[in-house]
Amino acid sequence: DTPDFREIARARGLVVTNSSSVYASACAEHAVAFLLGAARRLPDALASRAANGSMDWKRLRAESRTMAGQKVVLLGYGGIARELVKRLAGFDMEMVAIRRRPTGDEAVRTVPPDRLAAELADADHVMNLLPDNAESRGSVDIEMFSAMKPGVVFHNIGRGTTVDQGALLDALRSGHVAEAWLDVTDPEPLPDDHPLRAEPRCFITPHIAGGHGDESRALLRHFLSNFRRFMSGAPLVDRVM
């Protein structure tokens, strides 16, 4: 996904697809797990139990929240976001998606980037689903974190390169961002001595959001289905060019 490749593909009239739909559902479920983990204080509860701290239950109950009424801002409205919206529908959350060009047929309220700051100002969660490209790289920066309300929970299921990790680290240390839940980082794997690893309110999974036991077979089924479509002249799934 580089400008050089796209230029060559266009010049040669190539059709390009990817396999994003294979991963969208699993990524959406991982995002739900992040949201639930934050709301229900799962890291604290598990750590307390591991330390044999069962008497901590009163504090943990008091600090837990339901997802109902919480607001989540989705950065991006691609396949993962659409699957996530379906899964969050039963939680009675307020959902807002940020999309470069809203079409009006989205399943949730969707606004363009010039409305981002206003939406971030009262968001409980910000879910980054942005892909890596020239426009998105480093776009989740100090300005964006500053626009978020104090105590926000930041999640990244998109790409690590889209986040200024220095700005995220500063926001965590100041308490402006209460927690960060990251499935992706830059670089990957994140070095053992990286300061984000030492942050007690930063929870990192090792880029596993899209993974599932049927992944390889699903990729093969996806390829064969698209190959049959290509041979018959039917529209291709997950076409990017």
Annotated catalytic sites, by residue? 159, 188, 207
Report the run of H or E that residue 45 belongs to, with start and end. Answer: helix 42-50
Cβ atoms of 184 and 207 closer than 8 Å:
yes
3-class secondary-structure state, position 183? coil
Q: Which residue has the tokens 């750590």?
A: 47
d(CA 31, CA 117): 22
d(CA 38, CA 180): 9
Cβ atoms of 76 and 99 closer than 8 Å:
yes
3-class secondary-structure state, position 132? coil
DSSP state of 173: H
Where does 100-240 have alpha helices with state H?
Answer: 116-120, 142-147, 165-174, 195-198, 215-232
